[in-house]
Amino acid sequence: MPDTGKLVFFPWLTLPSSVRVGGFRFVPVKTGDPGSVVGGDVAGTAERIFSGYVDIRGKPIDTCTVALRIRHQKAWDVPETLWPKLFQATRCLALAAMSEQRFFRQLDPHINATVFRPIIQGIEPNQSHLNIFVKRRGGGLKMSGFKLNEAIFQLPMEAIETTCPEPSAQLCRALDSARTNETNAWEAIRESLPFFLLGHSETDNLPDESCVMLSALAFERLLDLTASQRNAGNVAEAFAKLWGPHATRTLGQAKRITADPHPKYSKEQSGWPIHRKWMKELYEARSSEVHGRQLPIFSRNWHAWQHIIIAAFAYPLSVKLLLAAEKSYQLSDKELDHCYAIDALLDSDWGSGCRRPPEWPDILSDIENRRALQRTLENALAVS
């Protein structure tokens, strides 16, 4: 019998090293020599399949990532019954990688959720033809009869110049632990993560306003509010409660951020941490997109593109704070630095092109340096 099965790979993703999460290993592979990862029987077929994936110049990709089952004789074969589990593991992998991303630093890697979309391909030894399945409403379109050297798949525009940083192994372990124990944090993460990843896929099919809406939905589910509680005020309050220990600047102390202009709200909001005001405006932007109107009694301190960047920064940290509250994750010194930086980042100057770059990276570096010095002094005093 031929060694047939389903190969799952990510053509536009190259991990720095093998990562284990959700019962799978995600392993980088050289497309010209995949035998050490997928085994000798289907190595030749895998190589020919990989050769059909090309960059924007039409050059075949050099590397990609393959999903393997753990402790299985045919590790490369992922049957359909395991696909839901695989998709969940993939989402956790994407979060663990995107949580390591920095912003506004030219030499740092840029990553988005698009590159974590898996390709599932039927494969067997000495295979010469390719079957293609296209997802459609109410079913799907199956196409067959393509020779392996005829079907060409080009790098999507949103995956150009993306590089995956080393995913957080600690976060992967914490997510696995929360999933295995079916904790409250896991349920919230499981429900919210698809919205976050879709909103941060950076595809042209989604305008910025839709990405803001998806980001707000992600936080709404992450903060575990009931349907009746889901409004801007409650979501902002829940977010502020989660981030409470890391508040550093109120709206009354802000340089650039203003409260809602209506007297009914402005006095109360002056004592809010700035991150609470941001979440309120993020959710109001979501409501504006859904209902097609913006109420003039509410301020708008951040543009849609700024909301997206802040959400990409705050969502992974929020996940870590939830896991830390359940004692399954311990934030590193740098992660704590970033938590304490959020109010200053929200109140920062976003710049104007290359002549006046955003303050964001300088603020982060300054807070990291000051807190590192503070920790050094505290440790020295503890020893003396």
- List, for residues 70-97, the tens digit of each pLDDT value: 988 899 999 999 999 999 999 999 999 9
Task: Report if residue 111 sits inside a domain.
Answer: yes
CA distance 112 to 2: 37
For residues 112 and 186, membership in a common domain is answered with: no
SS3 call for 226 = coil
CA distance 337 to 318: 14
Task: Report if residue 75 sits inside a domain.
Answer: yes
Quick one: which H or E segment has residue 183? none
The answer for 130, left when phi > 0, alpha when psi is -120 to 50, beta otherwise, is beta
For residues 153 and 193, membership in a common domain is answered with: no
Q: Where are the alpha helices (DSSP H) in the chain?
A: 35-38, 40-50, 83-98, 169-181, 184-199, 208-222, 232-243, 263-269, 274-291, 304-325, 333-346, 360-383
Per-residue pLDDT at 368:
95
Per-residue pLDDT at 70:
93
For residues 18 and 143, membership in a common domain is answered with: yes
For residues 153 and 182, membership in a common domain is answered with: no
Q: Which of the two residues, 94 and 384, has the higher pLDDT score?
A: 94
Q: How many domains does the chain have?
A: 2
Split at pLDDT 50, 70, 90, the class of 3 is: low
Task: Report if residue 164 sits inside a domain.
Answer: no
For residues 154 and 190, membership in a common domain is answered with: no
For residues 241 and 315, membership in a common domain is answered with: yes
Q: pLDDT tens-digit profile of 206-254?
A: 999 999 999 999 999 999 888 888 899 999 999 999 999 999 999 999 9
For residues 153 and 190, membership in a common domain is answered with: no
Closest CA to 252 of 281, 272, 275: 272
Split at pLDDT 50, 70, 90, the class of 184 is: very high
Q: pLDDT tens-digit profile of 102-159?
A: 999 877 889 999 999 999 999 989 888 888 888 888 888 888 888 887 889 999 999 9
Q: Taking CA 211 as the corner, what is the angle to CA 208 and CA 215, rounded to the nearest 5 degrees? A: 140
For residues 181 and 330, membership in a common domain is answered with: yes
Task: Report if residue 367 sits inside a domain.
Answer: yes
CB 35 within 8 A of CB 21: no
Q: pLDDT tens-digit profile of 356-375?
A: 899 999 999 999 999 999 99
- For residue 9, give its domain range: 5-159
Percent of the chain with pLDDT over 70: 98
Task: Report if residue 350 sits inside a domain.
Answer: yes
Number of DSSP helices (H) and strands (E) in the chain, helices first: 12, 9
Split at pLDDT 50, 70, 90, the class of 264 is: confident
Q: Using the 3D structure, point to which of 159, 185, 216 is the last residue of a domain.
A: 159
For residues 134 and 10, membership in a common domain is answered with: yes
Does the pLDDT of residue 4 top 60, yes or no? yes
CB 186 within 8 A of CB 175: yes
**Residue 170, CA distances (Å) to 24, 81, 136, 173, 177 in order:** 16, 28, 37, 5, 11
SS3 call for 126 = coil
For residues 153 and 173, membership in a common domain is answered with: no
CA distance 345 to 362: 10
For residues 173 and 122, membership in a common domain is answered with: no
Does the pLDDT of residue 377 top 80, yes or no? yes
CA distance 200 to 112: 6
Per-residue pLDDT at 106:
77
Task: Report if residue 318 sits inside a domain.
Answer: yes
Task: Report if residue 232 sits inside a domain.
Answer: yes
Task: Report if residue 145 sits inside a domain.
Answer: yes
For residues 148 and 188, membership in a common domain is answered with: no
Q: Which of the two residues, 314 and 264, has the higher pLDDT score?
A: 314
**Residue 291, CA distances (Å) to 257, 287, 294 in order:** 25, 6, 9
Split at pLDDT 50, 70, 90, the class of 1 is: very low
CB 90 within 8 A of CB 116: yes
Tell me the backbone φ, ψ of residue 63, rounded to 5 degrees: -140, 160
Q: Using the 3D structure, point to which of 136, 159, 182 is the last residue of a domain.
A: 159
Tokens matching residue 47: 């190589």
Tokens matching residue 100: 């390591």
Split at pLDDT 50, 70, 90, the class of 13 is: very high
Q: Which are the contacts of 280, defined by CB distance < 8 A and separation ≥ 6?
A: 232, 233, 235, 236
Q: Using the 3D structure, point to which of 129, 159, 189 is the last residue of a domain.
A: 159
Closest CA to 128 of 157, 149, 112: 149
Per-residue pLDDT at 148:
84
Per-residue pLDDT at 73:
85
Does the pLDDT of residue 353 top 70, yes or no? yes
